[in-house]
A and B are shown apart, each in its own frame.
Chain A
Amino acid sequence: MSFIPGHPVTAVVQRIEIHKLRDGDNLILGFSIGGGIDQDPSQNPFSEDKTDKGIYVTRVSKGGPAEVAGLRMGDKIMQVNGWDMTMVTHDQARKKLTKKNEDVVRLLVTRKSLENAVRQSMMQH
């Protein structure tokens, strides 16, 4: 998940479809995000590359919609419903996740374990 300027960014991603939970007037997904291009990336405990200003999942509420859908803590969110999350501010990311008229959000997330798994499976063949 490190970036080399000039080279395309590649990552192994997993699709996660979260169905928001309606709680009265609120729609909740059940996780927290951190990061953003306006945040200090060195404080991100989950990122491998401490200059990575992407959006990371910092918490997943147990039993919440996100956990049920397969989101894990430490995941990096690459896309939300087609919107890019690798180059957004924190607030922009939050807004894309919490649109009131959307009941479902489809995320593309990546994590180190995914990459390792894919690599391992490739090596086996």
Chain B
Amino acid sequence: MMQIDRLADMEEKLRILEDLNMIYIRQIALSLKDSDIQKKIDYEIRMREGACKLLAACSQRDQALEASKSLLTCNARIMAYMSELQRMKEAQVMQRVARRSSDAGPMDDRSPCKAKVAISDLRIPLMWKDTEYFKNKGELHRCAVFCLLQLGGEIFDTDMVMVDRTLTDICFDNTIVFNEASPGFELRVELYSCCSEEDYSAGSTPRKLASKLSTSLGRSSGKKMRGALEPGACSPTSNGGGAAILLPVPSVPGPKYHLLAHTTLNLSHVQDSFRTHDFTITGNEECSYWLPLYGGVCCRLAAQPHCMTQQMMSGCLRVKLGGEPQGWTNVYGVLKGTNLFCYHQKEDMEANVEPVLTIGINKETRIRAAEKDPHSKAQNICITNQYGGEEVMHTLAADSREDTQHWMEAFWQQFYDMSQWRQCCDDLMKIELPSPRKPAIVTPKQGSLYHEMVIDTSDDIGTVTDILARRIEEFDLRSQLGSPPHWMSLFDEDPPRSPHSHQHLPPHSPSPRLHSRCHRTPGLLSSNASLTSDSDSPTSVRPCFRQAWSPDSNSSSGRFRPRTLSLDAKLSTLRGRGYGGFRCNCQPPTASSGSPRPTQIALSCSSSTSSSSSSEGSNSQESDLGFSRPSSARRSLRNLRAKLDPRNWLQSQV
């Protein structure tokens, strides 16, 4: 009891602290006259409260996981904003101090341009123990994972992915774009995971077993219990570092994510293709949220510096084309990326007409201001490039001295940017903007006929077979339009198929001759028509309408045999091919009659077979498929096939 009191006390204190902190933050923001960050913080706090409420209210596990994820993201963002605020405050104070001491050194007036950084196609390989990977029994240990990406003040999260041992990699399809990154950026990638185990009280385990287990926990279940009880909320120091006490995280019930791995990427990792980076893994095998990570993360980190995508400078220039000293051409120059495009006129550029001249501006280029041209007032700009071993020089002139100065400045800035952004300026890296996500199309669950039927307890098999009979008629009509499926040929009169059918028969079946002669109609039991399957494929028991039932057809006409089928027939087909008597009747059953007694027919056939196949025993009335016990070899084969089909609700005759 004391514990609970103390906990409540602490929570109370935390709340007061929180409020105080909020006031403090607001003050800082006000003093900085930065309402922008304050608005963002307010927004995130509102989001966080919403997420907390949602977490407390939701009942579904995936809802809770999503809410917990947004909670974590909100917290991280709040941390980031607050650290930003603190930094700005510090910078402001430092500035004031610097001004006062009038010790401001020459400010570095050149700062590199910003860039758009995009990270996409995150893939984290997993390394399951081979025993785990191929295990197909037992519950699937699942974790919900997502990535948190932080650059500067921007934090984004990826979508949540459920991971279990059937996955070899965790893949995140999201493309995250950060605007306004500086060359010294640090992109922190964090992988959070949360164990997502079903409750034991759900109906997945047999109730008796569940009650037995509730008293004693095995190793894996104990781990899960511990995970659920772990109070580990998102550590406040995980993001924005150091802002631990500034805004303590409220602890809420519900699934909690834990940091599983992290890494930091910077400019050196930027490349226009996929690269694998090391992943630092926190946590160990004993944690409930553990996943066997391979230790790397594969992603595509691209950067588009503004100098590559935006026009850094544009204006009118004169270019000396050719070697002629007097051949000045007026052009409209645009400095963008690694080129200086010279258009005839400004309108051309807007119209996307090809430029007259393109001068490369890259790391190899050398630009210098030439001596004063005696003919003009302004200085000439000489751009020298190496084109395949040859030096090519272009001479440009601006209209006025200021223009020249501006252009030189622009070139210097461009060089500076390129030196700062290094490999990003070699070529423009493509960044695909994430498109609005389309909702996933949920395919309706394919079920067997049993899922569609509602069977009342008062009903019996009669209802079932009635429904199936109706279905068969539908199928009958439908299939008469088209060509019958190829497996219908199984039920041909002609023997060519019979060797095929024989493969289902036990080798020691005593009555192969019957098969070859007769139709393969199981002269069965009740007058209810339903479906059965005659072949041995694993889909045999699925309600596929292999045999149509036409009550008025008599024997050999066409492909549709008159069959009186029932649910039991299904069993018989599984059971024994040795039912020579049943598999073929010398005449079709008089199905049209009310309650056919094809048993006599069956008997007549069976009487000529040996006893290892069907035996009605001593009784002559027999409405079922008989008592014969198939041999163990047949049974094991049948069992194997039946067991292979998970949709098959196995029935065995004893």
Contacts and interface: CB of A to CB of B under 8 A. Distances in A.
Interface of A: 3-6, 9, 21, 23-24, 26-37, 39-40, 42-46, 48, 51, 53, 58-59, 61-64, 73-74, 86-87, 90-91, 94, 97-98, 112
B351 to A, nearest CB: 68
B651 A59 contact: yes
Nearest to B208: A87
A63 B619 contact: yes
Contact of B464 (A23, A37, A45, A112): A45
A53 B450 contact: no
B450 A42 contact: yes
Contact of B646 (A6, A40, A45): A40
Given A5-B214, A21-B627, A28-B617, 17 more contacts: A26-B628, A28-B627, A28-B654, A33-B652, A34-B650, A37-B206, A39-B649, A42-B450, A43-B647, A43-B649, A46-B457, A61-B624, A61-B626, A62-B624, A73-B461, A74-B460, A98-B654
B206 A87 contact: yes
Interface in B595-628: 611-612, 615, 617, 619, 621-624, 626-628
B628 A3 contact: no
Contacts of A94: 652, 654
B210 interface: yes
Given A23-B627, A59-B624, A91-B639, A48 B651 contact: no
A1 to B, nearest CB: 11
Contacts, number: 108
A107 B604 CA distance: 35
Nearest to B456: A45
A90 B568 CA distance: 18
Contacts of A39: 649-650
Contacts of A51: 203
Interface of B: 201, 203, 206-211, 214, 448, 450-451, 455, 457, 460-461, 464, 568, 571, 611-612, 615, 617, 619, 621-624, 626-629, 639, 646-647, 649-654
B629 A32 contact: no
A34 B571 CA distance: 10
A30 B208 CA distance: 30
B198 to A, nearest CB: 15
A90 B457 contact: no
Contact of B627 (A30, A34, A44): A30
B287 to A, nearest CB: 29
Contacts of A26: 627-629
- Across the A-B interface, give the 10 residue pairs with the lowest CB-CB distance, nearest first: A43-B649, A26-B629, A34-B651, A3-B207, A28-B627, A97-B654, A61-B624, A32-B653, A94-B652, A29-B654
